[in-house]
Amino acid sequence: MTDKARSSTSTEQFQQAFWVVVPAAGVGERMLADRPKQYLPLAGKSVLEQTLNRLLSHPGIIGVVLVLAEDDSYWEQTELVTEKRILITRGGEQRFHSVLNGLKRLAEIIPKQDWVMVHDAARPCISHDDLNSLILATPKTKDGLVLGAPVRDTMKQVDSSAQVLSTLDRSCLWHAFTPQVFRLGELEAALTACLDKNLPVTDEASAMEYCGYHPQMVQGSEHNIKITRPKDLCLAEMILKTVAEEQE
Ligand code: CTP
Ligand code: MG
């Protein structure tokens, strides 16, 4: 089903309306640009606006907690600055500090047992089909969900000089994307535990795993790329153009 067809589904179809925490407080070092990558132009808007429009146009999403850098001077200039469904809070040193700040803001307005999504500002190609898959899988999970895809290439384990040690069993390996879905209180506690123990947190799921949870992978589109390096913008532009053409 296309995004257009899915978008015509109503909020009532979903058991819970989701809040999404969107970390957007990074500097985008690898992008080598003159501004944080979430404010670079993409298909007529900024990367961040594309991401937020994708989320807020889905009937299962009630609002966004947007996490911005302390010294962000770009947000005020965007068209979405007056959008009532976006709450703003401030970011931290690393991504997971920013996510934790977003969760704390959310805990002021919704119960801790509610499911929440976390989605990177730098993934503007998230589709409504993928959001549907996550929302419809939520009632069947206990420990949370991670959008992702099985790896396709042969995977090698190497030493520090890139010499091959072994070939890994590909059938057990997935790429992890965002959105990821967890109960607000459980994710906040897991991230806080990692912070206290100084453990590295690469995504929300890794913090949950540390606390003994086993989230479920949900297969999503490989078009849901993260804008990381300059060439990714061209790729994202092509993906968004293809989606727009499919909807015409
Ligand atoms: N992010 C954040 N707070 C941080 C670091 C990152 O909110 N302290 C956000 C980014 O804005 C991005 C998402 O987390 O939307 C994913 O992080 P990443 O792709 O690593 O973005 P950057 O950290 O900005 O990029 P880089 O690592 O190249 O500097
Ligand atoms: Mg980073």
Distance 183 CA to ligand 1 centre (A): 22
pLDDT reported for residue 8: 45
pLDDT tens per residue across span 99-111: 999 999 999 999 9
Specify whether the CB–CB gap between 25 and 91 falls below 8 A.
yes
| Residue in this structure with the two tokens 């089909």, named with its chain if needed | 129
Residue 222 near ligand 1, beta carbon < 6 Å = no
DSSP H or E run through 177: strand 174-183
pLDDT reported for residue 11: 55
Distance 151 CA to ligand 1 centre (A): 23
Mean pLDDT of the chain: 94
Contacts (Cβ under 8 Å, ≥6 apart) of 90: 25, 67, 68, 69, 70, 101
Contacts (Cβ under 8 Å, ≥6 apart) of 186: 144, 208, 211, 213
Residue 101 near ligand 1, beta carbon < 6 Å = no
Number of domains in the chain: 1
Residue 232 to residue 132: CA distance in whole angstroms: 25
How far CA 30 is from CA of 27, 59, 70, 175, in Å, comes to: 9, 34, 20, 20
Residue 27 to residue 9: CA distance in whole angstroms: 36
In the numeric block, which tokens belong to residue 57?
């146009």
pLDDT tops 80 at residue 12: no
pTM attached to this predicted model? 0.95
13 pLDDT band, cuts 50/70/90, is low
Higher pLDDT, 6 or 39: 39
The whole domain housing 106 covers 3-247
Question: Residue 121 belongs to a domain with what CATH number?
Answer: 3.90.550.10
| Shortest-distance ligand to the CA of residue 75 | 1
Show the DSSP H helices in 57-109 as ranges.
Answer: 95-107
Distance 104 CA to ligand 2 centre (A): 21
230, HSE (Cβ side, Cα atoms, 13 Å): 4
- Stretch 201-221: mean pLDDT: 98
Residue 98 near ligand 1, beta carbon < 6 Å = yes
pLDDT reported for residue 167: 98
pLDDT tens per residue across span 74-90: 999 999 999 999 999 99
pLDDT tens per residue across span 30-73: 999 999 999 999 999 999 999 999 999 999 999 999 999 999 99
243 pLDDT band, cuts 50/70/90, is confident
